[in-house]
C-alpha cells in the first residue's frame, strides 16, 4: 500500500546515486501540438542554473533543413532544433501539418518506421509517435552526446554513427531506448551515411563499409574499401546493386567533389567501378529510377542520368535563391530545401547558365521548393512552402506581429490564437525597413533615405500607406508615444513627427546629436532615450518643438534600448547596462552583465529579455535593479536578432523563424505546468519497498504512478492536488515480481518518468 509523507524541505542532497548505468531519464513535456525535449545549454551560458522555464507557445515555420523523409504524401523534415511535418498531397500548394520545437537539441537526421519517427540529435536519439501527424508526441529519449552523425533504423534497432564508432540501440520499447553495442569502425573517421538493405547495411564515411545486421543487436563489418583519395562521404544513394557516394577531401571546403560508384552485387567484395568528378561541392543526394540528383550548395541542384552508371551524364540543373540543402524524391517531384542566400551563387563549371532552371521571384532563401523532374532537362518549380526569411525587427500589437525582413518585406503573423502561430500576409516595401513600431491601427516604418512611412493596418487585406515624412538623413528606428513619433536618423539625430492625423504627419522638432551613429530610441514620459554608439543620451521632449539633451551616460557599445519606469536597459556588443534615470540629468549605471552579444532588448515586469545572436534569447531577473541575474535561455534555430515582450507573450525573432513563449506570470488561457523536479527513488535497486520524492514550486493536481516496462500501470501512488514543497511517496512492492519498473509523475500537462529496479 502506498504511503504519503509531506515534507517542506529539499531531500535532493540525501538522494543516493544508483550504481546501475542502465538507468536513464525520459522526460516528456506536452506542448499543445508540440513536444519539447531536454534542453542542452549554450556553451557560453552553461555556468548558470536555469531557474525560470518559459512555456513554448508556437512559432512560424522556421527554416534550415538537415534531413528529409517522404512517406506517401507526408514529408518529415529535420530542422535546427526540431521536426516539421508537411502535407504534399497537392504539390502546388503544400501545407504545414505540425512542427515540434526542441529547445537546444539540434536534429541532424531522421528515420521513419511507423508509427514512430526517430530523430538523431546532438544529445542522442529522440523517439516520436506520429500516429497522428498533426499531433506528434515525444515518447522517449536516449542521451548519447556526439557530434553530427547519421542514423538508420531496421526492425527493433537503430544505428547511430559517432565518429569512429557505430552505436546500436534497442528501440523495441520506444519509451526506453537502450544501447546494446558500441563498436569501432576500423580505419574510419567522420560521420557515416547509411542505407539498409535487408540484413545488410551500407555505411559511407572515410571508408565504405558493408555491415551485416543478421544479428541486429550486434552488427558486424563484413567488408570495407577505402577511397582513391583521402575523402569523406557527404551522402549516398542506392540504385539496385550500385551505391553512388558523394565525396570530397576531408577537412577541406567541398570544392572538388566526386562520385564514387560502388558495385555491391557481391557484398563481401564491394568494388569501385567508376569515379566521376563533379566540379562543385556536394552536400546531399536523392535518386529516381533513372537519375541521381545532387545538391551542390551554391551551385544548386544537378541531375545526372545514370543509365550507364560508369559514365553519368548531366541531365539538368536547377537553382533556388539560396544555398541548396537536403533533397528528397516524392513521386515525380524533387523536394528541395534552401538555406541562407548565396551571394556568390553561380552555376559554375557544371551547368550552362542559359539552360539552368531557376526559382521564380516569389521564392525566398530558406523556402522549401517542390520541383517537377519528370521531364529532364526541364526542372520546373511548381510549389513552395514559405519557411524562408532573414528577419530583422519585430513590432507586436494585440492581434498581430509585424516582422521586417532582409527581403524588404514586412510579414504579418497572427497573434490572436493561443494554439498556433501563422503567417497571414506579406507587405511589400520600396526600401529595407528599420526598427518599426505599431500603435493602434497604424504601423510606423522607417525606410532609410525614404524617411518615415505610416501604414493603415486596420484591414490587412488592404494595407495602404497613408502618410510619409521625409527626414534629414536615413531613418533607422521609431518609437511612438501619444501624438508623436520619434524617429532616429543614423547620421543626424532625432526628429519628432506629429501624428495626430496619420494622413498628414509633419515634423515639429529635431535635434542634432553627437556620439556617432544613432541606432535606437525609447520614449518614456517627457524623455526620449537615444542609443548613440558609445553613449546613451537623455533628450527632454516635453516641448516637442524644442528637444534638448539633458543627460549623457557613457557606455561601451550601445545599440538598443528598453525603458521601465526609472531604469533604462542598454545593450550592445557583449554588454548589458542597467542605467538609473531617476535623475534624468545624471544617468547612472547601477549594474551590468557581460557574456553574450546583445542584438535587441525588451522588458516586462521583473524580467528583461535579450536577442543574443548565437546564444538565442536570454531572460534576466531584474527584480533587484542592482543585479542583472541570468534566469533562463531560449535556444533559437540560428541567430536571435529581435525580441518583444508583452504581458501575455515573449516573441523572439530569429534569422530563420519567429518563436512565441508565454510570459512569466501569464497563463493566457494556457494550462501552465507548475515547475517540478522528480528525484531518483531510494534505495535503488531495492527489496520490497522504496521511496520516491519530488519537488513542486506551486500547488497543482499531481499523479504519481508505477508502470511496468511495457508502460502498463501497476499502481497509482498519488492522484490529488498537492501543495508546493517536497513530497515523498513510498511504494510497497512486496506483492510484485522482481524486474524493472517505471515511475511517472504528471503535473498539469507535463510528465517526467524514471526507472527503478526491484530485486528480491
- Across 7-11, 296-300, 324-328, least confident range: 7-11
Cα(342)–Cα(363) distance, integer angstroms: 14
Answer whether residue 345 shows pLDDT above 50. no
How confident is residue 477, by pLDDT bands cut at 50, 70 and 90?
very high
Answer whether residue 570 shows pLDDT above 70. yes
For 528, phi then psi, to 5°, come to -110, 130
Cα(69)–Cα(150) distance, integer angstroms: 13
In degrees, to the nearest 5, what angle opens at C-alpha 717 toward C-alphas 716 and 722? Answer: 115
Give the closest residue to 634 by CA, choosing from 29, 53, 187.
53
Query: Are 329 and 357 a contacting pair, CB within 8 Å?
Result: no
Q: What 3-state DSSP class applies to 305?
A: strand
Answer whether residue 105 shows pLDDT above 70. no
Non-local (6+) Cβ contacts of 714 within 8 A are 705, 706, 707, 708, 736, 741
Give the closest residue to 194 by CA, choosing from 138, 149, 254.
149
Q: Is the dihedral of CA 339, 341, 344, 346 positive or negative?
A: positive
Cα(615)–Cα(611) distance, integer angstroms: 8
HSE of 547 in the Cβ direction (CA atoms, 13 Å)?
A: 29
Of 588 and 142, more confident: 588
Q: Is the dihedral of CA 422, 428, 429, 431 positive or negative?
A: positive
Give the closest residue to 317 by CA, choosing from 380, 360, 262, 236.
380
Across 321-330, 359-368, 663-672, the highest mean pLDDT is recorded for 321-330
Q: What 3-state DSSP class applies to 355?
A: helix
pLDDT at 253: 58
Instruction: Give the three cell numbers for residue 436.
Output: 518599426
Average pLDDT, the chain: 81
Look up residue 50 and give its DSSP letter.
-
Of 86 and 366, more confident: 86
Query: Are 301 and 315 a contacting pair, CB within 8 Å?
Result: no
Other CB atoms within 10 A of residue 354 CB: 6
Per DSSP bridges, beta strands 271-277 and 258-263 are antiparallel
pLDDT tens track for 284-316 = 888 887 888 988 877 788 888 888 888 888 888
pLDDT tens track for 482-505 = 999 999 998 899 999 999 999 999
55: left (phi over 0), alpha (psi -120 to 50) or beta: beta
- Could you tell me the CA-to-CA distances from 169 to 108, 176, 182 in Å, in that order? 17, 10, 9
Cα(452)–Cα(477) distance, integer angstroms: 9
Q: Kindly state the average pLDDT of the residues 663-669.
A: 61
Q: Kindly state the average pLDDT of the residues 317-342.
A: 81
pLDDT tens track for 519-540 = 999 999 999 999 998 899 999 9
How confident is residue 46, by pLDDT bands cut at 50, 70 and 90?
very low
Cα(546)–Cα(527) distance, integer angstroms: 12
Answer whether residue 669 shows pLDDT above 60. no
Q: What percent of the chain has pLDDT over 90?
A: 32
Per DSSP bridges, beta strands 284-287 and 713-722 are unpaired
Find the length of the chain.
760
Query: Are 561 and 544 a contacting pair, CB within 8 Å?
Result: no
Of 125 and 537, more confident: 537
HSE of 401 in the Cβ direction (CA atoms, 13 Å)?
A: 30
How would you class 289 by CB atoms within 10 Å of its CB: exposed for 0-12, middle for 13-18, buried for 19 or more?
Answer: exposed
Answer whether residue 70 shows pLDDT above 70. yes
Cα(688)–Cα(100) distance, integer angstroms: 40
Q: Hey, what domains does the chain have and what are their CATH numbers? A: 3-24+675-758 (2.60.40.1930), 230-377 (2.130.10.10), 391-606 (2.130.10.10)
pLDDT tens track for 236-259 = 888 888 998 888 777 665 556 777
Of 264 and 344, more confident: 264
pLDDT at 388: 57
Q: Is the dihedral of CA 417, 97, 317, 346 positive or negative?
A: positive
Answer whether residue 657 shows pLDDT above 70. yes
Answer whether residue 579 shows pLDDT above 80. yes
Answer whether residue 264 shows pLDDT above 90. yes
pLDDT at 148: 63
Query: Are 437 and 502 a contacting pair, CB within 8 Å?
Result: no
Q: Kindly state the average pLDDT of the residues 161-190.
A: 84
Of 235 and 438, more confident: 438
Write the DSSP string, 357-426.
EE--TT--TT-EEEEEEEETTEEEEEEEE-----EEEEEE-SSEEEEEETTS-EEEEE-S-SS--EEEEE
Answer whether residue 34 shows pLDDT above 60. no
Instruction: Give the three cell numbers for residue 382.
Output: 511548381
Cα(520)–Cα(571) distance, integer angstroms: 11
Write the DSSP string, 714-737.
EEEEEEEEE-SEEEEEEEE-TTS-
Residue corresponding to grid cell 541606432: 519
Q: What 3-state DSSP class applies to 324?
A: strand
pLDDT at 53: 62
pLDDT tens track for 357-383 = 777 766 777 788 899 988 877 888 888
Amino acid at each position: 500500500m502506498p504511503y504519503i509523507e509531506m515534507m517542506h524541505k529539499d531531500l535532493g542532497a540525501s538522494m543516493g546515486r544508483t550504481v546501475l548505468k542502465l538507468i536513464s531519464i525520459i522526460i516528456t513535456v506536452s506542448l499543445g501540438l508540440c513536444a519539447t525535449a531536454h534542453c542542452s545549454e549554450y556553451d557560453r551560458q552553461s555556468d548558470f542554473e536555469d531557474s525560470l522555464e518559459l512555456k513554448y507557445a508556437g512559432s512560424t515555420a522556421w527554416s534550415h533543413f538537415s534531413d528529409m523523409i517522404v512517406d506517401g504524401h507526408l514529408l518529415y523534415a529535420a530542422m535546427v532544433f526540431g521536426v516539421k511535418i508537411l502535407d504534399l498531397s497537392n504539390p502546388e500548394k503544400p501545407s504545414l501539418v505540425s512542427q515540434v520545437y526542441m529547445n537546444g537539441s539540434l536534429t541532424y537526421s531522421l528515420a521513419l518506421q511507423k508509427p514512430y519517427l526517430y530523430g538523431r540529435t546532438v544529445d542522442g536519439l529522440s523517439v516520436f509517435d506520429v500516429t497522428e501527424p498533426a499531433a506528434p508526441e515525444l515518447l522517449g529519449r536516449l542521451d548519447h552526446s556526439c557530434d553530427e552523425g547519421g542514423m538508420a533504423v531496421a526492425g527493433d534497432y537503430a544505428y547511430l554513427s559517432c565518429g569512429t564508432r557505430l552505436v546500436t540501440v534497442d528501440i523495441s520499447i520506444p519509451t526506453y531506448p537502450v544501447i546494446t553495442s558500441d563498436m569501432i569502425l576500423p580505419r574510419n573517421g567522420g560521420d557515416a551515411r547509411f542505407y539498409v538493405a535487408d540484413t545488410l547495411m551500407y555505411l559511407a564515411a572515410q571508408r565504405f563499409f558493408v555491415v551485416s545486421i543478421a544479428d541486429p543487436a550486434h552488427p558486424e563489418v563484413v567488408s570495407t574499401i577505402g577511397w582513391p583519395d583521402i575523402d569523406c562521404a557527404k551522402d549516398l544513394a542506392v540504385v539496385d546493386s550500385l551505391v553512388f557516394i558523394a565525396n570530397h577531401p576531408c577537412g577541406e571546403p567541398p570544392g572538388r567533389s566526386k562520385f564514387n560508384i560502388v558495385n555491391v552485387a557481391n557484398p563481401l567484395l564491394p568494388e569501385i567501378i567508376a569515379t566521376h568528378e563533379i566540379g562543385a561541392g556536394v552536400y546531399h543526394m536523392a535518386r529516381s529510377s533513372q537519375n541521381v540528383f545532387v545538391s551542390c550548395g551554391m551551385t544548386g541542384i544537378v541531375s545526372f542520368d545514370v543509365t550507364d552508371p560508369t559514365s553519368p551524364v548531366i541531365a539538368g540543373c536547377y537553382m533556388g535563391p539560396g544555398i541548396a540543402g537536403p533533397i528528397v524524391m516524392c513521386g515525380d517531384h524533387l523536394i528541395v530545401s534552401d538555406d541562407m542566400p548565396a551571394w556568390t551563387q553561380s552555376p559554375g563549371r557544371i551547368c550552362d547558365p542559359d539552360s539552368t532552371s531557376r526559382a521564380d521571384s516569389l521564392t525566398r532563401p530558406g523556402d522549401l521548393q517542390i520541383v517537377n523532374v519528370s521531364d529532364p532537362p526541364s526542372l520546373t518549380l511548381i510549389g513552395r512552402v514559405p519557411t524562408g526569411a532573414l528577419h530583422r525587427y519585430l513590432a507586436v500589437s494585440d492581434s498581430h506581429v509585424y516582422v521586417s525582413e532582409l527581403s524588404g518585406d514586412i510579414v504579418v503573423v497572427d497573434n490572436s490564437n493561443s494554439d498556433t502561430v501563422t503567417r497571414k500576409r506579406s507587405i511589400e516595401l520600396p526600401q529595407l525597413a528599420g526598427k518599426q513600431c505599431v500603435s493602434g491601427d497604424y504601423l510606423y516604418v522607417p525606410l532609410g533615405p525614404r524617411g518615415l512611412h505610416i501604414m493603415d493596418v486596420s484591414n490587412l487585406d488592404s494595407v495602404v500607406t497613408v502618410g510619409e515624412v521625409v527626414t534629414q538623413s536615413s531613418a533607422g528606428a521609431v518609437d511612438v508615444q501619444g501624438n508623436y513619433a520619434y524617429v532616429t536618423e543614423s547620421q543626424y539625430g532625432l526628429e519628432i513627427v506629429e501624428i495626430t492625423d496619420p494622413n498628414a504627419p509633419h515634423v515639429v522638432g529635431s535635434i542634432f546629436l553627437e556620439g556617432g551613429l544613432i541606432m535606437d530610441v525609447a520614449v518614456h514620459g517627457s524623455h526620449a532615450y537615444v542609443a548613440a554608439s558609445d553613449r546613451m543620451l537623455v533628450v527632454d521632449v516635453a516641448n516637442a518643438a524644442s528637444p534638448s539633451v539633458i543627460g549623457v551616460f557613457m557606455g561601451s557599445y550601445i545599440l538598443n534600448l528598453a525603458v521601465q519606469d526609472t531604469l533604462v536597459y542598454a545593450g550592445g556588443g557583449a554588454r548589458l547596462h542597467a542605467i538609473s534615470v531617476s535623475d534624468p540629468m545624471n544617468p547612472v549605471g547601477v549594474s551590468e552583465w557581460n557574456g553574450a552579444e546583445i542584438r535587441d532588448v525588451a522588458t516586462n515586469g521583473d524580467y528583461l529579455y535579450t536577442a543574443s545572436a548565437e546564444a538565442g534569447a536570454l531572460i534576466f531577473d531584474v527584480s533587484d535593479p542592482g543585479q542583472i541575474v541570468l534566469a533562463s535561455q531560449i535556444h533559437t534555430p540560428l541567430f536571435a536578432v529581435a525580441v518583444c515582450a508583452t504581458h501575455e507573450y515573449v516573441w523572439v525573432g530569429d534569422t530563420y523563424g519567429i518563436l512565441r513563449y508565454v510570459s512569466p506570470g501569464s497563463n493566457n488561457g494556457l494550462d501552465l505546468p507548475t515547475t517540478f523536479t522528480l528525484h531518483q527513488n531510494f534505495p535503488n535497486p531495492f527489496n520490497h519497498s522504496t521511496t520516491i520524492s519530488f519537488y513542486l514550486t506551486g500547488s497543482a493536481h499531481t499523479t504519481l504512478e508505477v508502470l511496468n516496462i511495457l508502460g502498463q500501470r501497476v499502481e497509482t501512488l498519488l492522484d490529488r492536488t498537492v501543495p508546493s514543497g517536497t513530497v515523498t511517496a513510498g511504494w510497497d512492492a512486496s506483492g510484485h515480481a522482481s524486474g524493472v519498473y517505471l515511475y511517472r509523475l504528471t503535473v498539469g500537462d507535463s510528465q517526467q518518468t524514471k526507472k527503478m529496479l526491484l530485486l528480491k
